[in-house]
Structure 1
Amino acid sequence: MEQVSKHLNMAVSAMTVSAFLKALNENDFDGAGEFMDENVRFEGVLGSVEGREEYLSQMAKMKLHYDVKQLLYDEDNVSVLYEIDMGGKPVLTSGWYEVREGKITHIRAIFDPRPVL
């Protein structure tokens, strides 16, 4: 039974991140917030943000589009390789999402910022 529970947690983590990115692509920031813990932390190359409201406020300003290339996951972690359209420039990015109890609690994004500087 423990193995079944672990597989269900993996599936929930992957579906949570997929639904979150879909909502962001649709500029549905309220919908995206449903998949985030209120104290979510974001760490990126160009800065960090703490809290769901602050993160979503920043995302609403940027209105990025995520073109998912690969999604890998285990029980509480989802790794996504995607291209993000940043001002008309595709930037290959790796995102690492930590998911606890169906909510994203921590996001880390790594990319080469030179195309957008």
Structure 2
Amino acid sequence: MNTSNKLLTEHNAKVVVLDFIHALNAENFEMARAKLHDHMAFRGVMGERNGADIYIEDMEKMKFKYDIKKVFVDEEEVCLWYDINMGSKTIFACGWYKIADGKITSFQVLFDPRPVL
């Protein structure tokens, strides 16, 4: 991949993920859903979700808020360091997002779960 194509791919991947996070923060779940591949997979410390509709249903209930601290991009993979406000607790976490065809196909979130157990 030449340099200009790589930069465009990385820019697009970053925009998809940031738009997704901003939509969750704004509780615009329809917009957040539009950024997800129908068959996306989520893996987290507290469980897994398969399918965009299932994931969004959970987010509508939980209404987490994300305060992004740092963004790293490598082609169609985006890594975020962020604080996740889970209501009664705010947890520092890392999210690793994979993008294909302009949609999030999978992501994994890691954090220390002890404060929420």
Q: Structure 2-normalised TM-score? A: 0.97
Q: Quote how far apart the aligned CAs of 1:5 are.
A: 1.2
For 1:57-72, what aligned pairs fall within 5 Å after superposition? 57-72=57-72
Q: Quote how far apart the aligned CAs of 1:78 are.
A: 0.3
Separation in structure 1 between the aligned mates of residue 28 and residue 57 of structure 2, nearest angstrom: 12
Q: Which runs of 5+ in 2 are unaligned?
A: none
Equivalent residue, structure 2, for 1:34: 34
Equivalent residue, structure 2, for 1:3: 3
Equivalent residue, structure 1, for 2:15: 15
3-state secondary structure, aligned to 2:27: coil
CA RMSD of aligned residues (A): 1.0
For 1:101-116, what aligned pairs fall within 5 Å after superposition? 101-116=101-116
Q: Quote how far apart the aligned CAs of 1:97 are.
A: 0.1
Q: Quote how far apart the aligned CAs of 1:6 are.
A: 1.3
Q: Quote how far apart the aligned CAs of 1:87 are.
A: 2.2
Equivalent residue, structure 1, for 2:83: 83
4+ residue runs over 6 A deviation: none
- % identical aligned pairs: 38
Give the letter for the 2:76 counterpart.
D
Separation in structure 2 between the aligned mates of residue 5 and residue 70 of structure 1, nearest angstrom: 23
3-state secondary structure, aligned to 1:14: helix
Q: Quote how far apart the aligned CAs of 1:90 are.
A: 1.1
Aligned residues: 117
Q: Quote how far apart the aligned CAs of 1:27 are.
A: 0.6
Q: Quote how far apart the aligned CAs of 1:56 are.
A: 0.2
Q: Quote how far apart the aligned CAs of 1:89 are.
A: 1.3
